[in-house]
């Protein structure tokens, strides 16, 4: 269901009645108060509802019990992150000390639990749906034996993975004696025991007494007896509406907080599970603490895992007494933060110019290439973000890579639930690098996003659009818009009817960004217009030429060379109400377009084919200009086509060097190399003088969008040189001459 604020219902153009109208900032924010009021009302009504899906399909407890090889109660006592054997992905190994065994033969007193993502030095991977564990956390683990591919298991410990990702852990609140998983809250840990043992028909085995849990229960009883006479009272807080992870400061007023923080803490509802659990900020987020007032930053990265979300705030004093605010804090958006290895200070990562074209190039893996409707749904989602926030994303040529490796490529692929996690709809893997700039005694740490990959669960029943999802379907475009929000560095919120709301259920359809989503994205992009203080990376350049006037009637669109040397353009429509004709357009650079032919509309949904018998050399782009009966126009997305006769052909110019001149009249001293490929590859270059001495040794990355390498030879003497090159299984030698 589209938000009514983004529909122009007054036009008599049948095309425009189906198209999202992108408001100007003034128009958008002049109405944002009304929209946010509606969102606030939805928050109030939502509080009484049970969540259906947290970007996951609920896995019943019975299924988790049956599928898990091992079910244990334990505590995370140690953690270490590491690269896999190929240096492609980062994982984290958690050493879990066992207290009770509910299922499985476990002779050891501990197991290793491997989760996706982690931090090694200044390299970091985060996975949007992965289970996050913190040292000291206790709970019940539903585990599958075995290590992920590329990880060598240690003989000293049992290596396991959580079954169903985040649903494979029931987290204990040791101080209060309660427990929760992503879809259920338990009033007591004993209730968890009963739920599992009653379904298994057997009791658990105690490995060692859980003293910390027992002590927490006793302390809770003692606290309840003193709470009435020595209570924490939260009287007010400001502001009432804020954001997380942006350094926004929250002031909490009341009594009984204590003269200093000590072991006291503030808790927020966890936006990653809709408030089923609570999260605590890092110590570095507290600015001041007195008996009557607390000032702190609202966190998106917390010491207990998770993001601060909308809801009531809880304050716990050093003596263990606590109090909850009467009012609800609204957190409109969250800027995803990261923390360095071994650190406790969150940082705001930047978007950068990763592709030398101002941003990031997205590539479809083979598993995505045979799903035309999925590609078009993904393109619509990308265009929505680009046209609304100017984030610099482009969809490049397809890749042969079917993995999410750390390889400077943003790859989109389908994967089974064994990869994504059982019940997970889709997940975004954000990969970061960092550096430390030192100035005197000051150390400034900066992180930036190098790439993002996305894995979409192939076991889910998807509606790719543009039609609405059926009863048991998930809306593909809605989920992809949400996952792209994670790539934009936005975290979850508890704010129904917004794109980054933690909960997407079957048939839920949100295909437009809402004001909170846009505000968060704009803040991230504005920060990213300044390059990292170190690391030598360039800032992102806003993309102002996005394909924003898209025809929603185009269901699929593609173009490719035939064996006869022509380009065949094919498309499918979902409806043709009010369409007069389709004009096929072509461009050498993706900016200046020419008409190459037209096809009349049939008036009903069907497949079309058009052949361009005189295609352009090397690289070209194709799109449709859709003309309506009232002479209005819209466009399809564009596709890149590479002439196969130009692929992997090595060209050098100018040769001789020095025939051309610069603007000041001096001889040109830049050697340009052209090498066209379908997907990202590495070109090795070695330049030798006539005596066989190597004077250059270069490695360049070439892609479908970047095929020109410039080499400055101003320091070389005139004469004859030999240029050797290699790329994959291809190689060659070219003679190069430099004039005086």
pLDDT one-digit tens code per residue, 292-348:
999 999 999 998 889 999 999 999 999 989 999 999 999 999 999 999 988 889 999
3-state secondary structure of 693: coil
Distances (CA, A) of 525 to 127, 491, 530: 21, 15, 9
Q: What is the pLDDT of residue 708?
A: 79
Tokens of 373: 């409707």
Q: Please, which residues have CB within 8 angstroms of residue 628's CB and are 6 or more apart in sequence?
A: 13, 14, 15, 578, 579, 580, 634
**DSSP for 6-43, written as a single string:** GB--S---TTGGGSB----HHHHHHSHHHHHHHHHHHH
pLDDT-based confidence at 161, cuts 50/70/90?
very high
Distances (CA, A) of 360 to 310, 389, 569: 32, 15, 26
Phi-psi region of 266 (alpha: psi -120 to 50; beta: other; left: phi over 0): beta
Q: What is the pLDDT of residue 290?
A: 98
**Whole-number Å distance between alpha carbons of 600 and 48:** 53
Q: What is the pLDDT of residue 38?
A: 47
Tokens of 183: 């879809």
**Whole-number Å distance between alpha carbons of 234 and 255:** 7
Q: What is the pLDDT of residue 707?
A: 64
**Whole-number Å distance between alpha carbons of 543 and 540:** 9
pLDDT-based confidence at 223, cuts 50/70/90?
low
261 near 285, Cβ under 8 Å? no
pLDDT-based confidence at 155, cuts 50/70/90?
low
If we measure between CA atoms, which residue out of 72, 83, 132, 130 comes closest to residue 106?
Answer: 72
510-537 pLDDT, tens digit per residue, is 999 999 999 999 999 999 999 999 999 9
Least confident window among 155-169, 385-399, 565-579: 155-169
Q: What are the φ and ψ backbone dihedral angles of 706, each rounded to 5 degrees?
A: -130, 105
Positive or negative, the CA dihedral 589, 591, 596, 599 is positive
Distances (CA, A) of 645 to 396, 498, 615, 673, 677: 19, 48, 12, 17, 11
Distances (CA, A) of 316 to 185, 223, 281, 322, 554: 21, 11, 13, 4, 56
Positive or negative, the CA dihedral 386, 392, 398, 402 is negative
Least confident window among 230-239, 272-281, 591-600, 706-715: 706-715
CB-count exposure of residue 492 (10 Å: 0-12, 13-18, 19+): buried
465-501 pLDDT, tens digit per residue, is 888 888 889 999 999 999 999 999 999 999 998 999 9
- pLDDT over 90 for what percent of the chain? 67
Q: How many CB atoms lie within 10 A of CB 584?
A: 23
Q: What is the pLDDT of residue 715?
A: 86
If we measure between CA atoms, which residue out of 139, 153, 431, 376 comes closest to residue 277?
Answer: 139
Tokens of 730: 């291809």
If we measure between CA atoms, which residue out of 484, 479, 530, 186 comes closest to residue 350?
Answer: 530
**Whole-number Å distance between alpha carbons of 84 and 40:** 45
If we measure between CA atoms, which residue out of 70, 74, 84, 78 comes closest to residue 117?
Answer: 84
Tokens of 134: 């913190």
299 near 246, Cβ under 8 Å? no
What is the mean predicted confidence (pLDDT) over 545-553? 87
410-452 pLDDT, tens digit per residue, is 999 999 998 999 989 999 999 999 999 888 888 889 999 999 9
If we measure between CA atoms, which residue out of 615, 586, 580, 616 comes closest to residue 599?
Answer: 580
Taking the CA atoms of the chain, what radius of gyration do you get in angstroms?
A: 29
Q: What is the pLDDT of residue 292?
A: 98
Burial profile 368-401: b = 16 or more Cβ within 10 angstroms, e = fewer: bbebbbbbbbbbbbbbbbbbbbbbbbbbbbbbeb
Phi-psi region of 515 (alpha: psi -120 to 50; beta: other; left: phi over 0): alpha
**Whole-number Å distance between alpha carbons of 487 and 479:** 13
Give, as one character, the DSSP assignment of residue 417.
Answer: H
**Whole-number Å distance between alpha carbons of 49 and 35:** 21
CB-count exposure of residue 183 (10 Å: 0-12, 13-18, 19+): buried
713 near 670, Cβ under 8 Å? yes
Beta bridge partners of 458: none
**Whole-number Å distance between alpha carbons of 347 and 436:** 12
463 near 373, Cβ under 8 Å? no
642 near 608, Cβ under 8 Å? no
Distances (CA, A) of 739 to 92, 297, 327, 418, 422: 57, 63, 78, 61, 65
pLDDT-based confidence at 373, cuts 50/70/90?
confident
- For the chain, domains (ranges, CATH) are 68-118+129-227 (2.40.50.120), 233-347 (2.60.40.10), 355-527 (3.40.390.10), 554-645 (2.60.40.10), 647-738 (2.60.40.3080)
Q: What is the pLDDT of residue 409?
A: 92
What is the mean predicted confidence (pLDDT) over 724-734? 93
Give long-range contacts, CB 8 A cutoff, 24+ apart: 700-704.
Answer: 700/673, 701/408, 702/675, 702/676, 702/677, 702/727, 703/355, 703/361, 703/396, 703/397, 703/677, 703/679, 704/396, 704/397, 704/619, 704/640, 704/642, 704/676, 704/677, 704/678, 704/679
If we measure between CA atoms, which residue out of 254, 544, 508, 509 comes closest to residue 386?
Answer: 544
Positive or negative, the CA dihedral 362, 364, 368, 370 is positive
Tokens of 571: 């498309």
Q: What is the pLDDT of residue 49?
A: 34
The yes-or-no verdict on residue 659 having pLDDT over 90 is: no
On average, the pLDDT of the chain sits at 87
Angle between helices 32-46 and 515-527 (to 10 degrees): 110
Q: What is the pLDDT of residue 666?
A: 54
**Whole-number Å distance between alpha carbons of 34 and 437:** 44
Block residue for tokens 């000041």: 664
Angle between helices 372-389 and 515-527 (to 10 degrees): 70
Tokens of 180: 């929760």
**Whole-number Å distance between alpha carbons of 392 and 539:** 11
Q: What is the pLDDT of residue 709?
A: 84
Alpha helices in 273-409 (DSSP H): 366-369, 372-389
Block residue for tokens 């607390």: 294
Q: What is the pLDDT of residue 403?
A: 92
């Amino acid at each position: 269901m589209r938000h009514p604020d983004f529909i122009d219902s007054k036009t008599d153009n049948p095309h425009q009645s189906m198209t999202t109208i992108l408001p100007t900032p003034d128009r958008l924010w002049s109405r944002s108060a009304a929209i946010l009021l509606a969102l606030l009302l939805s928050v109030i009504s939502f509080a009484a509802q049970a969540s259906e899906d947290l970007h996951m399909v609920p896995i019943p407890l019975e299924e988790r019990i049956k599928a898990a090889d091992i079910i244990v109660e334990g505590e995370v006592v140690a953690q270490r992150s590491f690269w896999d054997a190929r240096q492609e992905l980062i994982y984290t190994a958690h050493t879990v000390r066992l207290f009770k065994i509910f299922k499985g033969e476990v002779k050891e007193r501990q197991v290793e639990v491997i989760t996706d993502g982690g931090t090694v030095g200044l390299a970091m991977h985060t996975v949007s749906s992965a289970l996050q564990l913190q040292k000291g956390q206790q709970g019940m683990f539903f585990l599958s034996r075995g290590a992920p591919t590329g990880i060598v298991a240690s003989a000293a410990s049992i290596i396991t993975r959580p079954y169903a990702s985040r649903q494979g852990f029931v987290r204990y609140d040791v101080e209060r004696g309660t427990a929760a998983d992503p879809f259920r809250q338990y009033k007591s840990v004993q209730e968890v025991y009963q739920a599992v043992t009653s379904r298994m028909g057997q009791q658990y085995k105690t490995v060692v007494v859980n003293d910390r849990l027992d002590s927490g229960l006793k302390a809770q009883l003692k606290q309840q007896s003193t709470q009435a006479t020595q209570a924490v009272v939260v009287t007010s807080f400001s502001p009432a509406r804020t954001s997380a992870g942006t350094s926004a400061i929250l002031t909490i007023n009341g009594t009984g907080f204590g003269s200093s923080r000590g072991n006291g803490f503030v808790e927020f509802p966890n936006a990653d599970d809709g408030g089923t659990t609570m999260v605590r900020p890092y110590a570095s987020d507290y600015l001041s603490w007195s008996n009557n007032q607390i000032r702190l930053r609202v966190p998106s990265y917390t010491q207990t895992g998770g993001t601060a979300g909308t809801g009531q705030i809880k304050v716990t004093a050093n003596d263990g007494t606590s109090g909850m605010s009467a009012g609800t804090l609204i957190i409109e958006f969250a800027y995803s933060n990261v923390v360095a290895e071994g650190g406790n200070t969150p940082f705001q990562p930047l978007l950068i110019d990763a592709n030398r074209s101002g941003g990031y190039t997205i590539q479809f893996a083979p598993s995505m290439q045979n799903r035309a409707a999925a590609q078009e749904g993904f393109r619509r989602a990308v265009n929505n973000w680009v046209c609304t926030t100017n984030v610099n994303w482009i969809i490049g040529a397809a890749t042969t890579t079917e993995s999410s490796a750390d390889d400077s490529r943003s790859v989109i692929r389908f994967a089974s639930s064994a990869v994504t996690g059982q019940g997970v709809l889709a997940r975004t893997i954000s990969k970061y690098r960092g550096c430390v700039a030192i100035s005197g005694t000051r150390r400034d740490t900066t992180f930036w996003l190098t790439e993002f990959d996305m894995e979409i669960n192939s076991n889910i029943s998807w509606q790719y659009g543009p039609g609405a999802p059926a009863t048991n379907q998930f809306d593909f475009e809605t989920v992809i818009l949400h996952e792209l929000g994670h790539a934009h560095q936005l975290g979850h919120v508890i704010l129904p009817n917004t794109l980054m709301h933690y909960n997407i259920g079957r048939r839920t359809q949100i295909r437009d960004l809402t004001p909170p989503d846009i505000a968060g994205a704009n803040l991230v992009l504005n920060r990213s217009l300044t390059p990292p203080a170190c690391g030598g990376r360039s800032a992102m350049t806003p993309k102002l030429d996005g394909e924003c006037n898209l025809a929603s009637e185009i269901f699929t669109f593609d173009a490719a060379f035939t064996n006869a040397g022509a380009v065949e353009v094919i498309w499918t429509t979902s409806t043709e109400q009010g369409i007069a004709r389709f004009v096929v357009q072509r461009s050498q650079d993706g900016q200046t377009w020419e008409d190459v032919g037209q096809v009349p509309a049939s008036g009903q949904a069907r497949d079309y084919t058009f052949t361009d018998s005189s295609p352009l050399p090397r690289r070209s782009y194709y799109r449709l200009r859709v003309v309506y009966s009232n002479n209005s126009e819209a466009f399809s997305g564009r596709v890149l086509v590479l002439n196969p006769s130009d692929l992997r052909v090595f060209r050098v110019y100018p040769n001789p060097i020095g025939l051309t001149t610069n603007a000041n009249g001096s001889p040109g001293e830049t050697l340009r190399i052209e090498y066209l490929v379908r997907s990202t590859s590495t070109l090795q270059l070695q330049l030798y003088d006539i005596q066989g001495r190597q004077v250059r040794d270069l490695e360049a990355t070439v892609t479908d969008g970047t095929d020109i390498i410039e080499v400055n030879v101003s320091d070389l003497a005139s004469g004859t040189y030999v240029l050797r090159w290699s790329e994959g299984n291809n190689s060659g030698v070219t003679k190069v001459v430099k004039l005086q």
